[in-house]
Amino acid sequence: MIPLHSHPAGRHFLQIPGPTNVPDRILRAIDNVTIDHRGPEFGVLGKSVLGGLKKVFKTQADVVIYPSSGTGAWEAALVNTLSPGDLVLMVETGHFATLWKKLALKLGLQVEFLEGDWRHGIDPAQIEARLAADKAHQIKAVCGVHNETATGVTSNIAALRKAMDSSGHPALLMVDTISSLGSMDYRHDEWGVDVTVAGSQKGLMLPPGLSFNAISAKALAATETAALPRSYWDWKEMLAINPSGYFPYTPATNMLYGLHEALEMLFAEGLDNVFARHDRFGEATRRAVRAWGLEILCQNPSEYSSALTAVVMPDGHSADAFRKAVLQHFNMSLGQGLSKLADKVFRIGHLGDMNDLTLCGTLAGVEMGLEVAGVPHKKGGVQAAMDYLTQSSMAALARAA
Does pLDDT of 10 surpass 60? yes
**Is 24-267 assigned to CATH 3.65.10.10?**
no
Q: What is the mean pLDDT of residues 121-147?
A: 98
Burial status of residue 329 (CB atoms within 10 A of its CB: 0-12, 13-18, 19 or more):
middle
Instruction: Say if residues 81 and 141 touch (Cβ distance below 8 Å).
Output: yes
| Residues whose CB falls within 8 Å of the CB of residue 327, separated by 6 or more in sequence, listed in order | 333, 334
For residues 298 and 92, give the distance between their C-alpha atoms in angstroms, rounded to a whole number: 14
Half-sphere exposure of 211 (CA within 13 A, CB side): 21
204 phi, psi to nearest 5 deg: -80, -5
Closest by CA position to 184, among listed 267, 301, 287, 307: 307
Q: Where are the domains of the chain?
A: 24-267, 270-400
Confidence band for 397, pLDDT divided at 50, 70 and 90: confident
Instruction: Compute the 3-state secondary structure of the chain and give helix, strand, coil in percent, each to the nearest 5.
Output: 45, 15, 40
Does pLDDT of 391 surpass 70? yes
12-61 per-position pLDDT tens digit: 999 999 999 999 999 999 999 999 999 999 999 999 999 999 999 999 99
Closest by CA position to 207, among listed 246, 251, 256: 256
Q: What is the mean pLDDT of residues 349-376?
A: 98
pTM of the complete model beyond 0.85: yes
49-97 per-position pLDDT tens digit: 999 999 999 999 999 999 999 999 999 999 999 999 999 999 999 999 9
Does pLDDT of 380 surpass 50? yes
Q: Is the bond preceding 19 in cis, omega lying within 30 degrees of 0?
A: yes
- Compute the Cα dihedral for 292, 297, 298, 304 and give only its sign: negative
Q: Does the annotation list 347 as a binding residue?
A: yes
Say what the pLDDT of residue 62 is. 97
For residues 229 and 248, give the distance between their C-alpha atoms in angstroms, rounded to a whole number: 18
Half-sphere exposure of 4 (CA within 13 A, CB side): 2
Does pLDDT of 5 surpass 70? no
CATH numeric code, 270-400: 3.90.1150.10
Does pLDDT of 1 surpass 60? no
